Amino acid sequence: MARKKITVVGAGFVGATLAQRLAEMELGDVVIVDIPATEGMPAGKALDIMESAPIYGYDARVSGTTSYESTAGSDIVVITAGIPRKPGMSRDDLLNTNAGIVKSVTENVVKFSPNCILIIVSNPLDAMCLVALKTSKFPKHRVLGMAGVLDSARMRTFIAEALNVSVENVHAMVLGGHGDTMVPMPRFSTVSGIPITELLPKDKIEAINQRTRDGGAEIVKLLKTGSAYYAPSASTAEMVESILKDKNKILPCAVYLEGEYGVDGVFVGVPAKLGSKGLVDVIQLNLSVDERAQLLKSASAVKELSAALK
Ligand code: APR
């Protein structure tokens, strides 16, 4: 059986770390692409990853390039190209710069991999997904955004810390847009099946929710240059794995909604089943009045930002 092929566009912090993780997980051969101005850099990072393979013991070809020919026939293409946030910037401040980048990258990708599944990582995430969907003209099951897995992983980290339990016992659900209005869902966040609403007092849960919403900014503030990449790349790798191994994992992802949760015509984070065709199903949770109101508020923030796309 031939190996799967995964292209990662953007050989920066997120892209290169993702390429390393995909190779170590032996999910397929990996092609890293960046702009011509970075000449040599993607190839250099790819070779460095290849030379770790004998030590870690993985068989995956990793190559780096500044042209799209060698991306041809990719099963999955992950787009991490763009500029990251600086301290004090919101994800939304990146809107039109990254929209231009995502549009041109998508055009190139589609030329060489017309049947791929696109996973978008560039921010502001939900709006960039819409740019990729419109530019690619792909069906919605082949355009996904990575945000919810990351936001939920952050929430899981804080829950595990608060209760001093293994992170493996903790599941969390964060829905909505990947921005300040994201909606952590304590009722659907559990420790070995027990909702955290039965394990933690209200004020502690609210503090965890707020730290989750601010999770990206907390890292940006500490790093001073650039934004998070270890957890974002790990989150993307989990989505790639669920698709390529047809695992049908239910993961919170940004998907194009057409009426689900009362939202229409935008990408918003919802629980999604990911398998070999990409998006298999949107899972509809039975939300409380308050949860639904928060989700709709977040969706309208995404809608407003998406409408500002030039
Ligand atoms: N085509 C390909 N690559 C591009 C393009 C383009 N048109 N424009 C920029 N890039 C590349 C840059 O050359 C750089 O190598 O994208 C890479 C981005 O890398 P970093 O600056 O290290 O940014 P990173 O931390 O990886 O974040 C990338 O992911 O999480 C999001 O908000 C983050 O939008 C940002 C993206």
Q: What is the CATH number of the domain that holds 141?
A: 3.40.50.720
The answer to whether residues 128 and 162 belong to one domain is no
Question: Is 306 near ligand 1, meaning CB less than 6 Å away?
Answer: no
The answer to whether residues 285 and 215 belong to one domain is yes
The distance in angstroms from the start CA to the end CA of the chain is 44
3-state secondary structure of 150: helix
pLDDT attached to residue 87: 85
Q: Residue 238's CB: how many other CB atoms inside 10 A? A: 20
The answer to whether residues 67 and 121 belong to one domain is yes
The answer to whether residues 162 and 20 belong to one domain is no
The answer to whether residues 156 and 181 belong to one domain is yes
Structural domain boundaries enclosing 157:
148-307
Q: With a threshold of 0.75, does the pTM exceed it?
A: yes
Q: CATH number of the domain that 292 lies in?
A: 3.90.110.10
The answer to whether residues 188 and 121 belong to one domain is no
Give the model confidence (pLDDT) of 5-46 as tens digits: 999 999 999 999 999 999 999 999 999 999 999 999 999 999
3-state secondary structure of 119: strand
Q: Which of 5, 178, 213, 303 is catalytic?
A: 178
Question: Is 34 near ligand 1, meaning CB less than 6 Å away?
Answer: yes
pLDDT attached to residue 263: 97
Give the model confidence (pLDDT) of 36-80 as tens digits: 999 999 999 999 999 999 999 999 999 999 999 999 999 999 999
Whose alpha carbon is nearest atom 18 of ligand 1? 12
pLDDT at 256 over 80: yes
Residue 116: closest CA among 282, 279, 278: 278
What backbone torsions phi and psi does residue 273 show, to the nearest 5 degrees? -90, 125
The answer to whether residues 175 and 269 belong to one domain is yes
The answer to whether residues 132 and 171 belong to one domain is no
- The yes-or-no answer on residue 178 being catalytic is yes
135 vs 25: CA distance, rounded Å: 31
**Strand pairing category for 170-171 and 190-191:** antiparallel
